[in-house]
């Protein structure tokens, strides 16, 4: 007898509907899974049969064939265990109900219990679009799936099950199961706890102002200063001045963490901006994503948040160069022979570095801490094209002892955050009409939008031209200066970019001028 039901396969951070066909017929006893399954799916045969028997069902020695359609899409992971088992029980006529408009996903343990799966959120989003009316997932994934249902306001009902027997009783209607619901508003309630408050950072007034501008416009930043000047502390304080995640951004971010199996069970929706800080020994694949089973890397896990790269020149040259595409296009393309996968990578890059491989550029006597050639080799690890893609360059000098021992009267992160939110609100109104790609900040503006929203008067245009000639700036640096100037004007409440805004934007290109004069 043939039994048919629906499951899902993950393609990047999205899901694709898969039809599971299970057929039990006479012949030489066997269990065959076809439809381009990977090793995890092929190995599921023993898991499924053992789970079925340990759940109290008998499987006769017959020829069992399972087809996963469409057959040209690779099926990966263990989430096909439960739909295959249910399809097999349906073919054996051990389940009374049919599976129309039902999608089932879950990994089986040998005792018939269910384990957590990856990607329940994108599966639920896809199910709503495909007209599925009932989604059955492991209990550990029920809240995550219910978030998608609440977001789309679809008629789909989500059911969490603990075991194979629970699933059978639900399908047979033997026991009442209430669908799972999630209150989205409650997930966003409560004040977030941040590691560092700007009020606790001594001195560095100029660096704090630059980070405020970066937060307001979503700009990339590189901080240059000696060890102990507070670069890492400034980076850790940045999340506290960023605006809260909007629901659309939260959903995008949660999809990535769901696919990567990094979503916490107690937190079915990412409501805070991610802060990722990989070590400088991180490989290219771990940073950018990919591998044999393409997975999102650090640049995607930082989507809608911050990617902090401390000791930037210590990263391998290849690792740094692969950042070019996501910094420019806000997504990563991972190509394999059978499939090309795209992951979103709309992050703020915050990089930190010392001015010399020895730490400080000069010692207490004013002498260089390393030979000039060695310093140049150290700095040359960061290519010009990569620096071009970083909007703001900040000099973070050593904190003076007088600042360390002075009573702190610095502005709190909450106070700065209010100004950042006001500037972001201006930008949301400015870009309200954009659809694809959706734009949230000035840093995401295209050349066409720069031409519209970053117009300069004649005097300011001449000033910018003089700066480009003097500092030998590229066309990309020209656009970055205009974007930063637009953000400075937004923070100032100005509808137009004034000369003072432009001059400040130009000053944030430290590494484009003769900054390293020895």
- Please tell me the distance from the alpha carbon of residue 313 to that of residue 235, in angstroms, as a whole number: 17
Backbone angles phi, psi at 24, to 5 degrees: -115, 125
Q: What order of strands is seen across the sheet that includes strand 275-276?
A: 275-276, 306-309, 348-353, 221-224, 392-395
pLDDT at 189: 78
The chain-wide mean pLDDT, for the chain, equals 88
According to CATH, what is the number of the domain 2-182?
Answer: 3.30.230.10
pLDDT at 190: 64
Q: How many CB atoms lie within 10 A of CB 511?
A: 19
Confidence class for position 408, pLDDT limits 50, 70, 90: low
Q: Give, rounded to a whole angstrom, the gap between the first and last alpha carbons of the chain.
A: 82
Q: Are 21 and 147 in contact (CB under 8 A)?
A: no
Q: Are 125 and 152 in contact (CB under 8 A)?
A: yes
Q: 435 is written with which tokens?
A: 């659809």
Confidence class for position 440, pLDDT limits 50, 70, 90: confident
pLDDT at 436: 63
Q: At which residue do the structure tokens 């898969």 appear?
A: 18
CATH tag for 198-512 (out of 1.10.3720.10, 1.10.260.40, 3.40.50.300, 3.40.47.10): 3.40.50.300
Q: Are 2 and 68 in contact (CB under 8 A)?
A: no
∠ CA 147-151-156 to the nearest 5 degrees? 75
Task: Identify the residue with better confidence: 107 or 473.
Answer: 107
Task: Identify the residue with better confidence: 406 or 297.
Answer: 297
> What are the tens digits of pLDDT across the range 172-222?
887 778 888 888 888 887 656 778 888 888 888 899 999 999 999 999 999
Pinpoint the residues of the chain covered by CATH 3.40.50.300: 198-512
Peptide bond before 495: cis, by omega within 30 degrees of 0?
Answer: no
Pinpoint the residues of the chain covered by CATH 3.30.230.10: 2-182
Q: Are 197 and 374 in contact (CB under 8 A)?
A: no
Helix (H), strand (E), coil (C) string for 280-344: CCCCHHHHHEECCCCEECHHHHCCCCEEEECCHHHCCHHHHHCCHHHHHHCEEEEECCCCEEEEE
Task: Identify the residue with better confidence: 192 or 92.
Answer: 92
Say what the pTM is: 0.88
Q: 190 is written with which tokens?
A: 């409560």
Confidence class for position 512, pLDDT limits 50, 70, 90: low
pLDDT reading at 84 higher than 50: yes
Confidence class for position 515, pLDDT limits 50, 70, 90: very low
What would the DSSP string read from start to end of 165-180? HHHHHHHHT-S--PPP
Output the CA–CA distances (angstroms, integers) from residue 338 to 2, 77, 292, 492, in the order listed. 30, 17, 11, 51
């Amino acid at each position: 007898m043939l039994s048919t039901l629906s499951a899902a396969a993950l393609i990047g951070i999205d899901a694709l509907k898969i039809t599971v066909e299970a057929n039990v017929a006479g012949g030489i006893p066997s269990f065959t899974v076809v439809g381009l399954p990977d090793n995890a799916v092929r190995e599921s045969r023993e898991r499924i049969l053992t789970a079925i028997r340990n759940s109290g069902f008998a499987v006769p020695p017959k020829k069992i064939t399972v087809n996963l359609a469409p057959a040209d899409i690779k099926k990966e992971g263990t989430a096909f265990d439960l739909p295959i088992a249910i399809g097999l029980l349906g073919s054996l006529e051990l389940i009374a109900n049919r599976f129309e408009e039902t999608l089932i996903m879950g990994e089986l343990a040998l005792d018939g219990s269910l384990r957590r799966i990856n990607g329940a959120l994108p599966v639920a989003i896809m199910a709503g679009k495909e007209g599925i009316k009932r989604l059955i997932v492991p209990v550990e994934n029920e809240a995550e799936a219910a978030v998608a249902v609440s977001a789309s306001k679809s008629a789909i009902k989500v059911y969490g099950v603990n075991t194979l027997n629970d699933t059978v009783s639900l399908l047979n209607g033997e026991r009442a199961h209430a669908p799972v619901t999630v209150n989205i508003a409650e997930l966003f309630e409560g004040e977030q706890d941040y590691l560092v408050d700007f009020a606790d950072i001594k001195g560095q007034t100029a660096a704090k102002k630059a980070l405020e501008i970066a937060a307001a416009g979503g700009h990339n930043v590189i901080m240059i200063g000696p060890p102990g000047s507070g670069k890492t502390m400034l980076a850790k304080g940045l999340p506290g001045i960023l605006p809260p995640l909007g629901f659309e951004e939260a959903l995008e971010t949660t999809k990535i963490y769901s696919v990567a199996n990094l979503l916490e069970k107690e937190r079915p929706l990412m409501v805070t901006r991610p802060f990722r800080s990989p070590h400088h020994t991180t490989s290219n694949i771990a940073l950018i994503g990919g591998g044999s089973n393409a997975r999102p890397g650090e640049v995607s896990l930082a989507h809608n948040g911050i990617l902090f790269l401390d000791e930037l020149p210590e990263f391998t040259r290849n690792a740094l160069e692969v950042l070019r595409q996501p910094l420019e296009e806000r997504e990563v393309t991972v190509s394999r022979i059978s499939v090309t996968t795209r992951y979103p990578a709309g992050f703020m890059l915050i990089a930190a570095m010392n001015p010399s491989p020895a730490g400080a550029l000069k010692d207490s006597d004013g002498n260089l801490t390393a030979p000039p050639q060695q310093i140049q080799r150290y700095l040359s690890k960061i290519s010009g094209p990569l620096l071009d893609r970083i909007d703001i360059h900040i000099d973070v000098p050593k904190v003076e002892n007088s600042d360390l021992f002075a009573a702190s009267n610095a502005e709190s992160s909450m106070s700065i955050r209010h100004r950042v939110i006001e500037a972001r609100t201006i930008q949301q109104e400015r870009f309200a009409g954009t659809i694809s790609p959706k734009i949230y900040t000035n840093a995401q503006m295209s050349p066409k939008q720069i031409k519209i929203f970053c117009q300069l008067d004649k005097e300011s245009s001449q000033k910018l031209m003089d700066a480009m000639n003097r500092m030998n700036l590229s066309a990309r640096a020209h656009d970055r200066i205009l974007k930063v100037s637009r953000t400075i004007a937004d923070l100032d409440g100005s509808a137009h970019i004034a000369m003072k805004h432009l001059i400040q934007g130009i000053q944030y290109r430290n590494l484009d001028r003769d900054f390293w004069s020895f």
